[in-house]
Amino acid sequence: MRDSVTDLSFFNPMTVPALAALASRVSPAALASGEDMHALLRRLFPICRSITGDGVRETLAIVREYLPALQMHEVPSGTPVLDWTVPAEWNIRDAWVKNAAGERVIDFAQHNLHVLGYSTPVQGWFSRQELEEHLYSLPGQPDLIPYRTSYYQPAWGFCLRHHDRLQLQDEYYEVCIDSTLDAAGSLTYAELLLPATAPEPDAGEVLLSCHCCHPSLANDNLSGLVVAVALARQLAALPDRRYAYRFVFGPGTIGSITWLARNPEAVARIRHGLVLTLLGGPGHFTYKQSRQGAAAVDAAAALVLARHTPASEIRPWLPYGYDERQYCSPGFNLPVGCLSRTPFGEFAEYHTSADNLDFVQPAQLQESLELILRLCQTLDQNRCYRNLLPYGEPQLGRRGLYKGVGGGTEGHDWQMALLWVLSLSDGHTPLLDVAAKAGLPFELLHRAAQALAATDLLAAASVTDA
């Protein structure tokens, strides 16, 4: 049985297509720009990932080059996790369909989307009619390979361009899927905890989650993964983090369910959360609210998106989508929203071979990173204050507070920010609520609160879940 935290000594790189060896490399020291993130994405793109297996391990081992404190966990197949069971571990070495002349007409080595995810092993000759029952294509998008899986129902199959499917005219074909389903295997996930640098009692943690189970799909899910890695490096460099930040990298659905089942103490510390996905394609930002709907992360997302990306969209909770479904399930009811650009299923490239390296652009990755970093800083700075002189309006002039702070020239807005903070600082109203009522930028109100707190007028209230 493998240890719960692995050193990858058992990993066999020969279990992924040879194309992985040709992937471009990137210095682990560099991950500061959209170009850097795209370089990492190019490196990860050829790896054949699934919900278990060596492709996930290789992916997370590369992530650990950038995040050395990342911990990788192995959970044995057959382990009960909530209402689920960790499945047998799937790995694949090769797969193909040959015609009568011995030519590979479908070839896993050419593109790893060609194989139905979690295909059971198969070897033999099949009539064209028999083979057709195991083929998947898109008549409406005949030049694209679809992405299809069968994780929990034993099956085998191939995905191919519909144009190529129409060319299969031989009477018999030889089929091989050289895969394994190991009941003694395990599921792999990883997490990174960045401790608070300005800790307060019971401040808790911010959860940032992304999935790492799709093979050769650049936007879904590699864009979320590379943005999460870059975000972790950015947050680690920030001083005065009030919250700890917990990053979870795992396979979709079963990964978050496994993490929730194994980490009740960490679950109890989560105060805010985001699922990060589909962050490298075109289109406006879309935020899906948590099940709570009025959580601080929902308010922060709405405020940041409205101010910095006015074309963005806020959508209500829906019990369908990504891992926010698990985090927000009624028993946990964590305040976790989902941030993406164009949502899943709403762009033509979704779950096809067109979700490739050209579809994801460095500028889009950079914009996503900057937005999420701003959102995290907003959450970290959102707190309640208490007006220490609440009887009448205090004299601000003699305390120098009508002047711009740090060379600022906000004028009227600065004065109004000071007055709004004083007016609503009752020890229970967080700055996000002040910003919503005042119609002023959150950053300006935070600066006003800091300036007031540097005098005898304002004090930070005790930590709340706001």
pLDDT at 44: 98
- For residue 462, what are the contacts with CB-CB under 8 A and spacing of at least 6? 427
pLDDT at 402: 74
User: What confidence tens digit (pLDDT) does each residue in 133-185 have?
Assistant: 999 999 999 999 999 999 999 999 999 999 999 999 999 999 999 999 999 99
pLDDT at 5: 42
**Domain 13-86+186-381 part of CATH 3.40.630.10:** yes
Low-confidence ranges of the chain (pLDDT < 50): 1-27, 404-407, 409, 464-466
pLDDT at 307: 93
Query: What is the rounded distance in angstroms from the CA atom of residue 28 to the CA atom of residue 78?
Result: 36
pLDDT at 28: 52
CATH fold label, 384-460: Arc Repressor Mutant, subunit A (1.10.10)
- For residue 308, what are the contacts with CB-CB under 8 A and spacing of at least 6? 371, 374
CA-closest candidate to residue 426, choices 382, 458, 378? 458
pLDDT at 10: 29
pLDDT at 32: 80
Task: Answer whether 405's CB lies under 8 Å from 382's CB.
Answer: no
Domain boundaries, the chain: 13-86+186-381, 91-182, 384-460
- For residue 218, what are the contacts with CB-CB under 8 A and spacing of at least 6? 41, 45, 280, 355, 356, 357, 359, 360
**Domain 91-182 part of CATH 3.50.30.90:** yes
Task: Answer whether 388's CB lies under 8 Å from 456's CB.
Answer: yes
